[in-house]
A and B are shown apart, each in its own frame.
Chain A
Amino acid sequence: EAGVAQSPRYKIIEKRQSVAFWCNPISGHATLYWYQQILGQGPKLLIQFQNNGVVDDSQLPKDRFSAERLKGVDSTLKIQPAKLEDSAVYLCASSSSAGSDTQYFGPGTRLTVL
């Protein structure tokens, strides 16, 4: 099966600019996650969707981060305005709702904020 797709793979922006990332999960996967991975650390959850509804966004910095999954398939994550500390890899993962715990990760988007 095709894996989780993400774009762009790399992005460099100035602080205070805005940026958006896109994720296409594995076909049929109802659950989608966005994780932030800072260099040298494990991934940390930002937001979880079940179909087009938000399940958990307790760790999303809502003053600057937003995410949507309007049709229950693709998702976008936006940062506006970006700060230096937002430099990280943003990973999208998906899992099937049919009782499987396995999360499959995309290749990530490496964001550098200057």
Chain B
Amino acid sequence: GENVEQHPSTLSVQEGDSAVIKCTYSDSASNYFPWYKQELGKRPQLIIDIRSNVGEKKDQRIAVTLNKTAKHFSLHITETQPEDSAVYFCAASISGNTPLVFGKGTRLSVIA
């Protein structure tokens, strides 16, 4: 089955700097890759996703890149703000309403 590895497990950045979180996956059949943000005690919230026919996607300060050949995808947050502090999870699935396989998460701390 699918296995998703996520790095780093913790990340501290200064406010205004960029943050990058990387994930690798094992199943070449996977073609849907969402990123979720989870604040303490709250539900996971989808922040961006990418599908295998797209190499990069941006939404304001957030971007995701996908390299299907290497089976890895990354989350980039620019101009980080204190409210970006949270745990971020990457996930992978075969599209069409199939279960997500999650990475173990990255705890991002943005220091003001």
Residues of A bordering B, CB below 8 Å: 3-4, 31, 33, 40-45, 48, 50, 56, 91, 95, 97, 99-108
Write the chain A residue with the least CB distance to B51. Answer: A101
Task: A43-B100, A108-B43 given; name 9 further pairs at CB < 8 Å.
Answer: A3-B43, A42-B89, A42-B102, A43-B89, A44-B102, A101-B34, A101-B97, A102-B49, A105-B36
Check B97–A43 contact: CB distance below 8 A: no
Q: CB < 8 Å: which of A31, A44, A104, A106 contacts B97?
A: A31
With A91-B44, A107-B43 given, is the CB distance from A97 to B99 under 8 Å? no
Residues of chain B lying within 8 A (CB to CB) of residue A108: 43
Residues of chain A lying within 8 A (CB to CB) of residue B102: 42-44
Looking at chain B, what size class is its interface with the partner chain? 20 to 34
With A33-B99, A43-B100, A95-B97 given, is the CB distance from A107 to B46 under 8 Å? no
Check A97–B100 contact: CB distance below 8 A: no
Q: Is the interface of A mostly helix, strand, loop or mixed?
A: loop
Q: In the bound complex, how far is the Cα of B95 from the Cα of A97, in angstroms?
A: 11
What is the CB-to-nearest-CB distance from B27 to chain A, in angstroms, rounded to a whole number?
A: 14
Check B43–A101 contact: CB distance below 8 A: no
Residues of B bordering A, CB below 8 Å: 4, 6, 32, 34, 36, 42-46, 49, 51, 89, 91, 93, 95-105
Q: In the bound complex, how far is the Cα of B100 from the Cα of A33, in angstroms?
A: 10
Q: In the bound complex, how far is the Cα of B100 from the Cα of A105, in angstroms?
A: 12
Check B105–A50 contact: CB distance below 8 A: no
Q: In the bound complex, how far is the Cα of B96 from the Cα of A97, in angstroms?
A: 8
Residues of chain A lying within 8 A (CB to CB) of residue B6: 42
Check B49–A101 contact: CB distance below 8 A: yes
Residues of chain A lying within 8 A (CB to CB) of residue B98: 48, 56
Interface centre among B6, B51, B100 (most CB of A within 10 A): B100
Residues of chain B lying within 8 A (CB to CB) of residue A97: 97
Q: In the bound complex, how far is the Cα of B91 from the Cα of A101, in angstroms?
A: 12
